[in-house]
Amino acid sequence: MVVLAHWKGDLVNTEQQQTQPYSPIDFSGLAALADQHRQEYVTGQPWPHLVLDDLVDPTAIAAAEAEEIGPALGLELKHGRRMVKAESPRVTGEAARNILESLRAPQFVAFLEELTGISGLIPDPTHLWAGLHVGPPGAFHALHRDFRLHPGTGLFHRVNVLVFLNSDWKSEYGGELELWPEDASACVQRISPLAGKVVIFETTPASLHAIPDPVRCPPGRARLSLASFYYTEGPGPLDRKERRFFVPKRPQDPWYYGVGGFKETVQSVWHLASNSVTSRRSTPGNGDVDVI
């Protein structure tokens, strides 16, 4: 696949760069860090994850926030029934670029593989649906599981790394990242988006997460994070297709949060009807519709 070959070539080129003057992540300590936190990651609840506070140079975090907040507030918001947010695969300033480059450096990818036990991770140099995530006042993202496949390469989405950029973030601003179990019965972890905090988790059908309540920061501010996603050529052991019609929701959310949008609903009804006809002629299908 041409795109995949380009991604791997980009990774090799990064590995050959010996003159990079500065990295906001200390690569020399990553092997020890993975060994130190591997058990904590594996036993994380409600599913494997890790929160680190001192991974990225605080100077780079502060500079990235200062450089990105203005352009971030100018991004077009995506408005949906289950989401209000803005995002950009490109960042404006040098500090954020340095952080994102460090997150896809071979040394950091090796750290993720050692920490998570997932081999063959491939970072996405295009930062599709990653890069800069922005939540101004009123933004939210309902309970969800992340996309399964990269639409350009067909690679399997396996790991997320989030870096928060929010200095002096008060608890009344909200914006906590909530982690929920697969049965969506109750929130198990709330992670405040404080500057410098890094969240690492594997994306599986079980890894439900959300920023479910509207951000309450004052005008002129926003919940900012940098996101880097990682892929593998083959599926993970927990991989499966999910129905479009049924989507996760919190017990307290409106009933319609548990069903797909109009397009997904039409597709699901058609698919289920087709399976019903087929089942009368042969054997039942599984009713799954592939989603990304």
Domain-wise residue ranges, the chain = 2-232, 241-292
Question: Tens-digit pLDDT profile for the chain (292 aa)?
Answer: 545 655 665 554 544 444 456 899 999 999 999 999 999 999 999 999 999 999 999 999 999 999 999 999 999 999 988 999 999 999 999 999 999 999 999 999 999 999 999 999 999 999 999 999 999 999 999 999 999 999 999 999 999 999 999 999 999 999 999 999 999 999 999 999 999 999 999 999 999 999 999 999 999 999 999 999 999 999 999 989 887 778 999 999 999 898 876 655 555 455 445 544 433 333 333 333 333 3
pLDDT value of position 252: 95
Alpha helix positions (H), 43-132: 58-73, 94-103, 106-116
pLDDT value of position 263: 59
Please provide the CATH number assigned to the domain covering 2-232. 2.60.120.620
C-alpha count within 13 angstroms, C-beta hemisphere, residue 182: 8
Q: Where are the beta strands (DSSP E) in 99-222?
A: 122-123, 131-135, 140-144, 156-164, 177-180, 189-191, 198-202, 208-211
The closest of 215, 77, 247 to 147, measured between CA atoms, is 247
What dihedral angle (degrees, nearest 10) is formed by the CA atoms of 289, 177, 140, 58?
-120
Would you say 229 and 199 are in contact if contact means Cβ atoms under 8 Å apart?
no
Q: pTM (2 decimals)?
A: 0.86
User: Token pair for residue 29?
Assistant: 């300590």
Would you say 198 and 56 are in contact if contact means Cβ atoms under 8 Å apart?
yes
Round to whole Å and give the CA distance between 109 and 120: 9
